[in-house]
Structure 1
Amino acid sequence: MATAGDIGTFTVWDYVVFALMLLISAVIGIYYAFAGRKQKTSQDFLMGGRSMSAVPVALSLTASFMSAVTVLGTPAEVYRFGAMFSVVGIAYAIVVLISSEVFLPVFYRLGITSTYEYLERRFNKCVRLIGTIIFLIQTIIYTGIVVYAPALALNQVTGFHLWGAIVATGAVCTFYCTLGGLKAVVWTDVFQVGIMVAGFLSIIIRAVVVQGGIAPILNDSYYGGRLNFWDFNPNPLQRHSFWTIVIGGTSLWTGIYGCNQSQVQRYIACKSRFQAKLALYINLLALWAILACAILCGLAMYSIYKDCDPWTAKFVSAPDQLMPYLTLDILRDYPGLPGLFVACAYSGTLSTVSSSINALAAVTVEDFVKPYFKSLSETKLFWISNGLSLLYGAVCIAMAGLASLLGGLLQAAISICGMMGGPLLGLFSIGILFPFANSLGALIGLLVGFAVALWVGIGAQIYPPLPSRTMPKYLSIEGCNFSAIVTNWTLTTALPTVTGIKTDAPVSERPALADNWYSLSYLYFSTIGTVITIIVGIIVSLLSGGLKQNVKRDYLLTSQDFAYLKVLLPSSWGKKRDEEVKVLNWRTRYSHSYPDKGADNPVFTHMEMTSAEKIGNANGINS
C-alpha cells in the first residue's frame, strides 16, 4: 500500500516529455505563421478564413472545453463522491443538441465574428457593450485560474516548478496564438487532445495491471458505494443528483457552447453550416470518451487507495493533488510516463488558454476597434489582432499571478465566472426565441438575472453549506503505514479522523437564507441566472410594447432552420408538400405571363393558394 514516502519523483525523462509537448505546440504556430502566409486579414487570422472542416474543429472544441481542471478534478470527484457525475454525459448531449439546432443556425446565417455583434443587431449598442464587458471579465479571471490552479497542484506533489510552468505554458500559448491565429489554435488543440487521451490511458492501463484486471476495480467501487450512477432525489439543496447535474449542467454548459465566444468562434469558422453542425456532434463523441477516461481513473484511484486515503492521511493537502499523487505512485518505475500525465494536464491548460486568447482578441477587434475606427484597412486590423493576442497572453499570465494571491477565494472566483454565463445565456435565448423581446426587456432582464445570480453565489461563499451536505463518501486510513513517512513530508502528529464519520460543527449566526437559498447546488447558479433573465426580459418586453416591434427574421430561429427535418417525416407528407410547391411555382409563372388573370384563375382555390404560399415562403421561393 502506498504511503507518503514511497511514491516516485520527477526524472529527467519526465521533463523531456513535457518539454516536447510545448515544443510541438510552438512548432505548429510557426508552421501556420510561415507556411500559411495567405492570412492577410483579421478574418483569416481570427476565423481561419471560415474554411475549417468538421473533424479538427470538433477536437478543438473538446480540448478547449476539457481544461486541466477537468483532468485533475473529475477523477478526484469520482474518488470522493462516486460516479454520479458521469450522468453529465446526458447534459453534454442536450447541450450539443441545443447549440447546433438553436444558436448555430442564427450565428452562422449572420456571418458574424463576435457573438456579441448579434446583441447590437437584435437589440442595441448598450446591450452589446454590457454583454461584451461581462465576457471579457469572465474569461480573463477564469483563464488566470485555469493556468494557476493545476500548476499549484502539480507543484505541491511532483515538485514541478510552479512559476516556470506557468510562464512557459502562458508564453507558448501566446506565441502560437500570435503567430498562427485560429488555424494554429485549432490544430494545436488536435495534438493536445491526443496527449490528454494518452495521459489518461497510461493511468488506466497501469492501474488495471496493478489491481489484477478491471473486475477488481469495479468490485471495489461497487462495495465502496462508488457506482452510484442514479439518484433521482429532486431536492435542489443536494450537491449532486440526476436533476442537478442534468438541469444545472445543461444550463451551465449551454452558456459555453451556445453563446460563449471561445466555442462559437470555432464552429462558425467552418466552411459550411453542415460542417459546423457535424463538428458539434463529433465533439460530443470526444467529450464522452474523455469523460469515460476520467471516470475510470477515479474508480481505479478508489480501488488502489480504498484502505489508505492520501487526502485524509494528509499525504496531499487538497483533492486536486490526488491524480498527480496517483501518477507518481503507480508509474514511478516507468520514466517519462509521469511526465506524459503532466503534459496531459497542461494540454488542457494550453487548449483553454489559447482559445481564450483568440476569443478575447476577436471580441476586442469586432466590438471595440471596428465600430469606432471604421477607416482601418484589413491589413491594419490583421496586425492589431496579432498585437491583441500578445497583450491578452500577458494579461492571462498576470491574472495567474493574481490568482496565487487569492488563496481561499479561488473557488469563489470560479463560481462567479460560472454565474456570469447564466444571464448571458438568458439574454441570447430571449433574442433568438422570442420575437417580441425588445432592448429594454433584454437590458433589465440581464441586469436582474446577473444581480440574482451574484446574490446566491456570493451568499454561498460567505455561508457555505453545512459539512453534512458536502461530505464525501467513506474514506479509510486503516491500511496506511505511517511509520514509513519520510521527513520531507509535513504531516499532523495525530492520526486524522476518518472522513466518512464527520459530523456538523456548531454553527452560529447563520441567517435564515443560509440553509436553503445559499445552500442550493452550485450547478443551479447558472440556471437561476438564465431563468430570471428570460422571465424578467419577457415581462418587461410585453409591458413596454414589444409586440408592436418588427424584428428581422434573420435574427430569430425560424422554420427554415429545420427544413432538413423533412427527411424524417412520412413520405406522404413530403409528396404532398412537393405537389403544393409545384402549384405555387405554376401559379407564379402563370401570373407573370398573365398579370391581369393570374390571381383570379379558377384553377386555384383559396386553400391551395394559402397552403402553397406558406410552403413557398418557408423555402424562400417567393423571396
Structure 2
Amino acid sequence: MATLSSLDLIIIVGYLLLLAGIGAYFSRQQTSLDAFLIGGGTISWLPVGLSLMAALNSGIDYLTQPSATIQFGLVLALGTLSWFVIYPWVAYVAFPFFRRLNVYSIYEYLEDRFDVRVRTLAAVIFIAWRVGWMATALYVPCLAIHAASGGAIDLTVMIVIAGVLVTLYTMLGGIQAVIWNDVIQFTVMFGGLGATVWIVAGSAPGGVSEIWQVAQAAGKTDLWVPIGGGVAGFLQQPMTVPALMCAVIIGRMAQYTTDQTMALRVQSTRTTADARHAFIVNAAGDALWMLGLTFVGLALFAYFQRTPAPEGLSSDRLLPYFMTQVFPAGAVGLVNAAILAASLSSVDAAIHSGSSVLVVDLYNRLIKRRRLQRLDSKPAGDGPEQVRALRIATIVMGVIGTTLACNVEGLGSLLEINKKVTDSFAGPLFGIFLLAMFSPRSASTAALTGGLVGALSSYLVAFHSSLSFFWPSTFGLVATVVVGYAVSLVTAPPSAEVQGQTWRGVMSRATD
C-alpha cells in the first residue's frame, strides 16, 4: 500500500513552484490590455491548441470519466465522436466570425447586435458558469491528494493552497503565463495518464484481454443503453445515448461559440487558419485523453470485481483508493500532479477569462462608461491602469472560486455536479448567440426574454427535477431560442444597421 511518500510530495511541490515561476517570468511583459489578454495576437497555433485542450478539460475528467465508465460502461466513449460533428461549425462558422469581430470580449458583440443589457446578462451568465466550473475543478485534485495522503493533508487547506497559487501566477503572467503553463500541464496530464494506464493494465493478471472479458461479461462494453418507460422514462433515465450526445454536442458547440476562454485563445493566434489548426490539436488531444480515461474505468471495474472496495466508498474515490493500494512510490505523486495539472489548467483559464469579462464588460462598460476594442487607440497611461484592474479582477475571481470550492462536497457525484453546474449556463448562452447571429428579426427584448427563460429552464431541470443530469443544456438552449424567436414575432424588429450585425453581415468584413 502506498500513500504520499516524500518523493511524491517533492514532485507535487516542485511542480507547483514551476508554475509560479513561469507566472513571475512573464509578469514584466504585461504592460497593456492587449498583452495581458491575448499576448498581442502573435502566439503559435501549437501551444494555443495544447492550451485549449488543457483549459477546456480538467482534473474532473480524471475522476469522473473512470467513475462514470464503471457505472455506465464504454458507451461514454461515444462522446468523442462529437468532434467530427462540431468541426464544420467551429472551423467555418464560429472562428471566422469571432476573428472578424476583433474584440477583447465576445460579449461586446451582443451590445452591437442588441444592447448593453443583453451584453451584461451574457457576461454575468458567463462569470457564473466559469466560477462554478472553477470551484469544481479546484475541488477535484485536492480531493485526490487528500485521499492519497490517507486524510493526512486537510482537504480545505489543500484547496486554499492550490487556489492561491493559480490565482498568483495568472495575476502575474497574463495569457502568456496561462498558455505556457497549460502546455506544461498538458505534458504532465498525459504523462500521468500514461502511468495510470500502464499500472491499471498491469493490475489484471490476464492484462488487457482479461479487463475486456470482465467488462464484456458485465455488459460494460455495450455501445447502446436500452430505453424504457415512454417519454417520461426516457427523460428521467440517468444515461441514454441521445441524452449523452445532445449534452456533449450542445456543450461543445456552446464552448466554441460563447466561451470567453475559447475566444481569448482564438484571438491570440496570428490567423484564422492558425485557430483552426489549434482546434484540431485540441480535439485530437481531448479524444486521446477521454479514451484513455475510459480504459482506466474499465480496468478499475475489472480490478474491483476481484478485489471489492471498502463498503461505502463512492465511485468518485475509487481511483484515489486504487492508487493507495497498487501504485508504487513516485507514481502516486506523478498521477496526483497530473490531476492537479488537468485542474489548474482549467482554473487558470477560468480566472483569466473571467477577469477579462469583469474588466471589459462590467468595469470598463458600466463604470468607466467606455468600450475597448482590440484596434482602438488607447489614451496615454491606459495600459498600466487596465493591467492593474485586470489583476484586481483576477484576485476577485480566485477568491470567489476558491471559497466555493471549499463547499462543493455534498452536491452529488462529481459527474452530476459538473454537468449540472456547467450545462445550466451553456445552453442559454448559446441560445442568445444563435438569436444574435441568425435571427435578424430578434431585438434586445427577444434576446433578454429568451435568455432569462432559458436560464430558468436549465436551473429547474438541473436542480429541481427528476430528469437526467445530461438534459439541462438541451432544455436551456431550446427554451432560449423558441421563446426568444416567439417574442421577436410580436415585438418591433431592430434597425437595418443592427440587423447588419448578424453572421452574414459580420462575415462580409475583411479578415486576415
- TM-score, normalised by the number of residues in structure 2: 0.89
Distance (Å, rounded) in 2 between the aligned partners of 1:124 and 1:356: 25
Q: In the TM superposition, what whole-angstrom CA distance separates every residue of 1:193-218 from its partner, at most 9, and x where no partner exists?
A: 11111111112112223324322222
In the alignment, which residue of structure 2 is the partner of 1:221?
215
Of structures 1 and 2, the larger Rg is shown by 1
Letter in 2 for 1:444: T
Letter in 2 for 1:99: V
Displacement of 1:437 after TM fit?
1.7
CA displacement at 1:385 relative to structure 2: 1.3
1:93-242 aligned at under 5 Å gives the runs: 93-159=84-150, 160-211=153-204, 212-231=206-225, 233=227, 235-242=234-241
Q: Distance in 2 between matches of 1:416 and 1:291?
A: 20
Equivalent in 541, 558, 571 of residue 488 of structure 2 = 541
Output the CA distance in 2 between the equivalents of 1:111 and 1:157: 46
Give the counterpart letter for 2:315 in structure 1. Answer: P
Deviation, structure 1 residue 94? 2.6
Distance 1:442 1:274, change over 3 A: same
Q: Does residue 349 of structure 2 align to residue 355 of structure 1?
A: yes
Aligned CA distance change for structure 1 residues 97 and 72 (closer, same or farther; 3 Å): farther
Would you say 1:433 and 2:438 are equivalent positions?
yes
Partner of 1:285: 284
What amino acid maps onto 1:240 in structure 2? M
Letter in 1 for 2:268: A
For 2:308 and 2:503, locate their aligned partners in 1 and report how far apart those are by CA, in whole Å: 52
Letter of the 1:427 counterpart: I
- 1:265–1:359 contact (8 Å) kept in structure 2: yes
Q: Per residue, is there more helix in 1 or in 2? A: 2
Change (3 A) 1:123 1:426: same
How far off is 1:356 after superposition? 0.8
Q: Cα gap change, 1:619/1:259 in structure 2, threshold over 3 Å: closer, same or farther?
A: closer
Task: Report the Cα offset of residue 105 of structure 1.
Answer: 1.8
8 Å Cα contact 2:316-2:413 kept in structure 1:
no
Partners of 2:183 and 2:41 in 1: how far apart? Answer: 18
Q: Of 381, 388, 393, which residue of structure 2 is paired with 1:383?
A: 388
Tell me: CA distance 1:548–1:358, structure 2 relative to 1, closer, same or farther (3 Å): closer
Do the aligned partners of 2:79 and 2:248 also contact (CA within 8 Å) in 1?
yes
The change in CA–CA distance for 1:157 and 1:219 in structure 2 (over 3 A counts) is same
- Partners in 2 of 1:197 and 1:71 — Cα distance? 11
What is the aligned counterpart of 1:49 among 40, 52, 55?
A: 40
Higher relative contact order (CA 8 A, sep 6+): 2
- Equivalence for 1:274: 273
Contact 1:232–1:242 at 8 Å: present in 2 too? no
8 Å contact from structure 2 (residues 99, 272) kept in 1? yes
Inter-CA distance 357–533: structure 2 relative to 1 (3 Å threshold): same
- SS where residue 406 of structure 2 aligns? helix
Give the CA RMSD over aligned residues. Answer: 2.4
Counterpart contact for 1:436–1:549, Cα < 8 Å: no
Q: Distance in 2 between matches of 1:560 and 1:424?
A: 20
Deviates more, 1:225-234 or 1:521-530: 225-234
Unpaired segments ≥5 residues, structure 2: 371-378
Residue 305 of structure 1 aligns with an amino acid whose one-letter code is F
Determine the C-alpha separation between the residues in 1 that align with 2:24 and 2:68: 38
How far 1:232 sits from its partner (Å)? 7.3
Deviation at 1:560, TM superposition (A): 8.9
In 2, the alpha carbon distance for the partners of 1:307 and 1:340 equals 26
Q: Is the 8 A contact 1:25 1:188 kept in 2?
A: yes
The question of 1:368 aligning with 2:315 is answered no
Q: How does 1:73-84 map to 2 (within 5 A)?
A: 73-84=64-75
SS in 1 for 2:107: helix
* 8 A Cα contact 2:419 2:469, kept in partner: no
User: Residue 52 of structure 2 contacts residue 265 of structure 2 at CA under 8 Å; is this kept in 1?
Assistant: yes
- Separation of aligned partners in 2, 1:104 and 1:452: 28
The separation in 1 between residues aligned to 2:505 and 2:107, in whole angstroms, is 24
Unaligned runs of 5+ in 1: 1-6, 461-517, 562-617
Q: CA deviation at 1:305?
A: 1.6
The CA distance in 2 between the partners of 1:110 and 1:56, in whole Å, is 23
Please tell me the residue identity of whatever aligns with 2:166: C
Equivalent runs, 1:52-91 vs 2, <5 Å: 52-91=43-82
Check the 8 A contact 2:419/2:470 in 1, yes or no.
Answer: no
CA separation in 2, counterparts of 1:381 and 1:158?
42
- Partner SS for 2:355: helix
Q: Which moved more, 1:88-97 or 1:71-80?
A: 88-97
Deviates more, 1:339-348 or 1:96-105: 96-105
Tell me the SS of whatever aligns to 1:31.
helix
Count residues with an aligned counterpart.
Answer: 490
Which residues of 2 match residues 139-538 of structure 1 at below 5 A? 139-159=130-150, 160-211=153-204, 212-231=206-225, 233=227, 235-310=234-309, 313-314=310-311, 317-331=313-327, 334-371=328-365, 372-373=367-368, 374=370, 377-403=382-408, 415-460=420-465, 518-519=466-467, 521-538=468-485
Deviations, residues 164-217 of structure 1 (Å, cap 9, x unaligned): 421221122112111110011011011111111111111211222332432222
Superposed displacement of residue 150, structure 1: 3.9
**How far apart are the structure 1 equivalents of 2:3 and 2:301?**
22
Mapping 1:8-47, distance limit 5 Å: 8-34=2-28, 37=29, 39-47=30-38
Q: Which amino acid aligns with 2:57?
A: M
Report the residue type matching 1:368 in the other structure.
L
Residues in 2 aligned to 1:12 and 1:619: alpha-carbon distance in whole angstroms: 58
Match of 1:513 in 2: none
Kept in 2: contact 1:154–1:321 (CA 8 A) = no
The answer on whether the counterparts of 2:132 and 2:421 sit within 8 Å (CA) in structure 1 is no
| Alpha-carbon distance between aligned partners in 1 of 2:411 and 2:75, rounded to the nearest angstrom | 29
> Secondary structure of the residue that 1:40 maps to in structure 2?
coil
Aligned to 2:374: none
Amino acid at match of 1:307: R
Match of 1:495 in 2: none
Q: CA deviation at 1:408?
A: 5.5
- Asked whether the 8 Å contact 1:262–1:355 carries over to 2, the reply is yes
Q: Percent identity?
A: 25
- Aligned 8 A contact 1:412 1:458 in 2: no
